């Protein structure tokens, strides 16, 4: 009964703002589990895809201690793939790559996942998504001390960011931080 009441309250919130959960909003575990149940009963694959993605984002933020976001990211990615929603499929694939970046035992897969996402977004001219994933790719390459390719990637990020004219995702700061990392690693501290 409690879950059902939470589900009803949460459904009203979703109906006002958006049909599906927003991946950048903080939800309780009970809200997310109620949404999963709702979308399973309705056989709403898109709802499940967004809910699992939102679930993983909350796990990444540490909202649910000792839980890896990876299983929920993979579920989300597979639902988007089944729906032939390529944009969200590649965004979740890039998110998996970003998750791999900080884990030494699976770090080698990070580059592959993120390159895959950036190639898709480059082909589709989705500059917002491309920039975000390219910055992560540059950071992987920087940590390999491979500075020339990283500089080329960051230059592309910089150009794309100027092209879109609106830095709503804070890309400028992330790009500058990556440049600073390159110069600091090269001992060019004043430039960094």
pLDDT-based confidence at 121, cuts 50/70/90? very high
The pLDDT tens digits of the residues spanning 124-153 come to 999 999 999 999 999 999 999 999 999 999
The pLDDT tens digits of the residues spanning 79-96 come to 999 999 999 999 999 999
Distances in Å between the Cα of 190 and the Cα atoms of 128, 155, 185, 187 are 30, 20, 12, 9
Cα–Cα dist 78/159, whole Å: 32
Residue 176's closest CA among 135, 137, 143? Answer: 135
Residue 161's closest CA among 134, 188, 124? Answer: 134
The pLDDT tens digits of the residues spanning 6-32 come to 444 454 444 334 689 999 999 999 999
């Amino acid at each position: 009964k409690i879950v059902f009441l939470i589900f009803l309250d949460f459904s009203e919130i979703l109906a006002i703002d958006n049909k599906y959960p927003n991946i950048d909003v903080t939800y309780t575990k009970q809200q997310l589990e109620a949404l999963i149940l709702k979308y399973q009963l309705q056989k709403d694959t898109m709802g499940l895809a967004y809910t699992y993605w939102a679930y993983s984002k909350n796990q990444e933020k540490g909202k649910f201690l000792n839980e890896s976001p990876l299983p929920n990211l993979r579920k989300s990615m597979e639902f988007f793939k089944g729906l032939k929603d390529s944009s969200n499929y590649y965004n979740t694939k890039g998110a998996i790559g970003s998750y791999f970046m900080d884990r030494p035992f699976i770090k080698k897969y990070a580059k592959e996942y993120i390159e895959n996402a950036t190639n898709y977004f480059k082909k589709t001219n989705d500059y917002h998504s491309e920039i975000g994933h390219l910055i992560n790719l540059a950071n992987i390459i920087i940590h390999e001390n491979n500075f020339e390719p990283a500089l080329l990637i960051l230059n592309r990020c910089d150009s794309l960011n100027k092209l879109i004219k609106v830095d709503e995702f804070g890309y400028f700061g992330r790009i500058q931080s990556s440049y600073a990392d390159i110069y600091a690693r090269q001992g060019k501290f004043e430039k960094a």
